[in-house]
Structure formats: C-alpha cells, structure tokens
C-alpha cells in the first residue's frame, strides 16, 4: 500500500512538472512612441524617450530594466538604461519612459549625415531584462525601426 502511494505521488509530481513545459513565450513587441529633447548642454543632449511594450502572452511579465540605443540614419545618436520594475499585463501594453544621452559628436555626425535627405530612418535597439521564470528568458534583445519625413518632424518640434 505504501509503495502504491509513493508511485501515485511520484506520478502526480511528474505530471505537474510536465504541465509547465507546455507554456510558450512570445517575445514582447517594442515600438518607439515619442522623443523629446529635455536638455541641451555644450557637450551632451538629454532626450526623454517613450517606448511601448506589448505583451502578447497569456501571463503578465515583469520588466526589471532595459538598455536602449537610438540610431538615426544608421548612426548612433543616444543611449540609456532604465532600472525600474514594471508589470506588463497579459495581452496588454505599457508605455515606458527612458532617458537617453547623446554626446555632441554623435549629434553633429547624425545631423550632417541627414541634412540633405527629405526623410530619416530611425532604429531603436536594446535588451529587456525580465524577472525570469523557468519558461521566460531573463534577457530579450529587441529592435524596432521606421522612417519619418522631415516635414512631420518639424511639426512635432524636433
């Protein structure tokens, strides 16, 4: 009788362990929402950037932090990190503000490279740092890009 109970308990433990392996994790989608110049100094410009993170999973995920890099026309413009715990609900999204920093050299290089074009391309790359469960990777790289016309940028006040 004792042996039967042990086998039953072992069987339940094995089945409950297998149930966790059925979960699949979809990488969150990240997009650029807004960029504002917060402060321009002699050797550095500070940007307020908003990213939207969309969670298409059936369970919430916890963002512990992220690192982010902004490129304009293929040239590095600014970078920054965020150390803030944020819950992204299941099948939901959040806007995450992050401060990015740019040196004068990067700003001038980017401005010279894009001064003759009617539009510019942007690319946001980085890594999400998540609270990890067995089925969630702790670090997820991301990339989002697009293109804007200069007329739209002038209307926004960039």
Report the pLDDT value the prediction gives residue 84, as an integer from 0 to 100. Answer: 92
Report the pLDDT value the prediction gives residue 107, as an integer from 0 to 100. Answer: 74
Write the CA distances from 108 to 85, 139, 147, integer angstroms.
Answer: 34, 32, 20
CA distance 107 to 81: 19
The domains found in the chain, sorted by start residue, are: 24-156 (2.60.40.10)
Higher per-residue pLDDT: 85 or 24:
85
Residue 89 has pLDDT above 90, yes or no: yes
Tell me the pTM. 0.75
Report the pLDDT value the prediction gives residue 69, as an integer from 0 to 100. Answer: 98
- Is residue 77 within 8 A of residue 102, CB to CB? The reply is yes
| Least confident window among 83-87, 113-117, 129-133 | 113-117
Residue 125 has pLDDT above 80, yes or no: yes
Average pLDDT score, the chain: 84
């Amino acid at each position: 009788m004792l042996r039967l109970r042990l086998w039953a308990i072992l069987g339940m433990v094995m089945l409950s362990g297998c149930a966790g392996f059925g979960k699949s994790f979809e990488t969150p989608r990240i997009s650029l929402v807004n960029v504002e110049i917060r402060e321009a100094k002699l050797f550095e410009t500070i940007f307020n950037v908003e990213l939207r993170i969309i969670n298409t999973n059936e369970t919430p995920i916890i963002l512990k932090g992220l690192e982010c890099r902004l490129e304009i026309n293929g040239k590095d413009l600014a970078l920054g990190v965020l150390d803030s715990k944020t819950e992204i609900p299941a099948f939901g999204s959040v806007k995450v503000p992050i401060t990015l920093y740019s040196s004068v050299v990067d700003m001038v290089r980017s401005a010279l490279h894009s001064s003759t074009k009617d539009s510019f391309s942007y690319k946001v790359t980085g890594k999400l740092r998540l609270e990890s469960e067995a089925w969630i990777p702790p670090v997820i790289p991301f990339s989002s890009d697009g293109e804007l016309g200069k007329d739209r940028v002038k209307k926004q006040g960039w």
